[in-house]
Amino acid sequence: MTGTVPELRLSDFTEGGPGARAGFQRDLFASLRRWGFVILADHNVPTELLDRAYSLSAALFDLPLEAKLAGAGGLRGYTPFGAEHARDSQAPDLKEFWQIGREPSPQALAVEPLPPNAWPDQPPGFRDTFEALYSGLDLTGRLLLSALAPSLALPEDWFDARIRFGPSILRLLHYPPVPGDAPAGAVRSAAHEDINFLTILVAARGAGLQLLDRDGRWIAVETEPGKLIIDSGDMLARLTNGVIPATTHRVVNPQGPNVSRYSMPFFLHPHSDLSLAALPSCLGARTPDPPITAGDFLAQRLREIGLA
């Protein structure tokens, strides 16, 4: 069975009446359950901020390599081209990226051991722009989980305390033109599932994102600039015992002009000490996975993809 990933309006949930809110909640659950993906329009992040962020991201990756390496810092700052690979592939992904996390304020550090961010000196306005984008996408994630909770027999605010100071990551991705000497089988991002609760992807500048449908066919996931693409990750799949799946997806090499592609996913994570044991409402879906905390699960996956 194939088709098109549904598009929903977040404003139906945040500004609509009872009927619109209930319809959004129903359709969000149905889309994530069927696809593991949904496209989000009329959301809370201004288009002007998204455009400015993409301009600054491109300027960052245009810097000389030595300038970018000055910001290399593990799970914060710069990760060079070819450092990451998919869990089931040893071929390097053809990408470089810069990661921004939650600022380790005293209030946040009381809950989560957050490392400091690495903020580059160039381009001008980088920190202000990406702190604003981080906050906006973090709010988007909280709104989506609030909308999703009742379909899982949870209060709307159930997720709030469990993600408030979680180690969520905003990743600025640059896929350069594919080099002629790329290793055999290497693609921009090999087939994988995301690790976290939800990924909120600012519509990319450049095609290539595909999801693996239930019938084994790859389907392009594309939308207009200014909209958001949402997908559910492995942590949410474990918490819901597979009721909401983590759908396999990839970014393929360009079929037309061999040009750069830019992308900005926000990986929404719960607190590291949260148990990912299956919710009571989801226990009948399948045999639950062994218990594990979100922090231990993340550490395991980071080792598997070469980032730890």
CA 140 to chain centroid, in Å, comes to 12
pTM metric for this prediction? 0.94
pLDDT tens, residue order, the chain (308 aa): 346 899 999 999 999 999 999 999 999 999 999 999 999 999 999 999 999 999 999 999 999 999 999 988 778 999 988 777 777 677 888 899 999 999 999 999 999 999 999 999 999 999 999 999 999 999 999 999 999 999 999 999 999 999 999 999 999 999 988 888 887 778 888 888 999 999 999 877 767 889 999 889 999 998 888 899 999 999 999 999 999 999 999 988 888 788 888 999 999 999 999 999 999 999 988 999 999 999 999 999 988 877 75
**Closest by CA position to 266, among listed 139, 147, 152:** 139
HEC string of 69-103 equals HCCEECCEEEECCCCCCCCCCCCCCCCEEEEEECC
Q: How far is CA 266 from CA 26, 155, 203, 213, 224, in A?
A: 24, 24, 12, 23, 18
CB 249 within 8 A of CB 221: yes
Asked whether 212 and 245 are in contact (CB, 8 A), the reply is no
Domain 19-304 has CATH 3.30.70.600: no
